[in-house]
A and B are shown apart, each in its own frame.
Chain A
Amino acid sequence: MIASITEARFPALGTTAVVLVADPDADLSAALAAVRAEVAAVDVACSRFRADSELSRLNAAGGATATASAVLLDALQVALRAAQITDGIVDPTVGTALRVLGYDRDFASVQPAGAPLRVTLGAVPGWRAISIDRAAATVRVPAGVTLDLGATAKARCADRAAQAAAAAARCGALVSLGGDIAVAGAAPAGGWLVRVTDRHDAGDEAAGQTVAIARGGLATSGTAARRWQRGGQDLHHIVDPATGASAASPWRTVSVAAASCVDANTASTAAIILGEHAPEWLESHHLAARLVAEDGEIVRTAGWPAERS
């Protein structure tokens, strides 16, 4: 009976979507439909791996000005905002770097190991190269620049989907897209209970911490997922725009809570790239975060709660 179900899952954006509603009598199917619609819209607009996506066409436009849907315009503006706020630490022009590192297709199809890379890495072109004309609904990306919206589009989608789900179900809702979590509406008593771990698909026994959130978003970035090897060298999907290489970070996992999922994910991604300077940076933005070092040491910032013993 649908009324008794409060949780639904489905594959989305190369990961798993989870939809929770706070009221067990709410219409979960309506919430689920709203989330599916948001996910489908973002996928067709922002996927780097779908040949028919708007982003793929924009990346292939060779520097020509292209029209863009409202969804892509929104995603691009969110990406540029993230780049601006982080002084380019989270930059959408990392697409080419990801491709040459070997992440050139949906990650499920990326070879886990391969021959050594024979490429010259360097700083990415930078977000300032992108021009958006919102009034004309057009975008221009210089020839040779490839955008990747992975650091922000999924989280933005979670924010939008949570709002849509809460409206559709007429109660509080949580949407997780591969661990990028957004909540909307009234939270259940005690808040939404989230376990932060190295991987979103970890089992119940995995190390981590359970926290409660009542609003906004929570996101975790880390190097434990989407890893591969080339020539025996470990690579991962979080690229440092300054080098064009996988970020060399002392942190394996960073979880951040913020007023929105996209701000949380922007900060968690930036923290991985910032490395040892991340705690200070997070504190300066008053962002509650939990950073897990490669050796397992845990650092907390701005009011992130201590582990319960």
Chain B
Amino acid sequence: MTTPATRDKGLRRISNLTTWLGVSAVAVTGTFVGLAAHTSHTATATVNSSSAGSSGASATAASGLDAGQAPTASALPSQVRSGAS
């Protein structure tokens, strides 16, 4: 015979299990994303070392463009212009 107390206990177990499954899925996904990113980076670096002539590219040749920091908006008068030249 199922009582309200045992039913609630069962529901909490299911809820906890669902939560852990979700966390595990996120962790596994993150691991694969990390592996994929690492693999991709390695592949690009390999191309770098073999495609710039007999001595390869320099040590500064990165696998991608370096984004740096986004600018911020300003309402002050500019000091210099950037435009097509």
Contact = CB atoms under 8 A, between A and B. Distances in A.
Contacts of B65: 85, 258, 263, 266-267, 285, 287
Contacts of B62: 81, 85
Contact of B80 (A18, A85, A130, A266): A18
Given A260-B66, A267-B65, A196 B82 contact: yes
Given A134-B58, A193-B78, A200 B85 contact: yes
A: interface residue count bin: 35 or more
B78 A258 contact: no
Interface residues of B, number: 36
**Main DSSP-derived SS at the B contact region:** loop
A194 B66 contact: no
A199 interface: yes
Interface in A12-53: 15-16, 18, 20
B55 A304 contact: no
Given A212-B71, A213-B71, A81 B80 contact: no
A89 B6 CA distance: 66
B83 A179 contact: yes
Contacts of B51: 80, 84, 128
Interface in B68-83: 68-83
Contacts of A208: 81, 83
Interface of B: 47-48, 51-58, 60-85
22 contacts: A77-B61, A81-B48, A84-B52, A84-B57, A133-B54, A134-B53, A136-B55, A176-B82, A200-B82, A200-B85, A201-B85, A210-B74, A212-B71, A219-B82, A220-B84, A222-B84, A253-B84, A257-B69, A259-B67, A285-B65, A304-B70, A307-B73
Chain A to chain B: the 3 pairs with minimum beta-carbon distance, closest first: A178-B85, A259-B68, A222-B84
Interface of A: 7, 15-16, 18, 20, 77, 80-81, 84-85, 128, 130-136, 139-140, 174, 176, 178-181, 190-202, 206, 208-226, 253, 255, 257-260, 263, 266-267, 285-288, 302-308
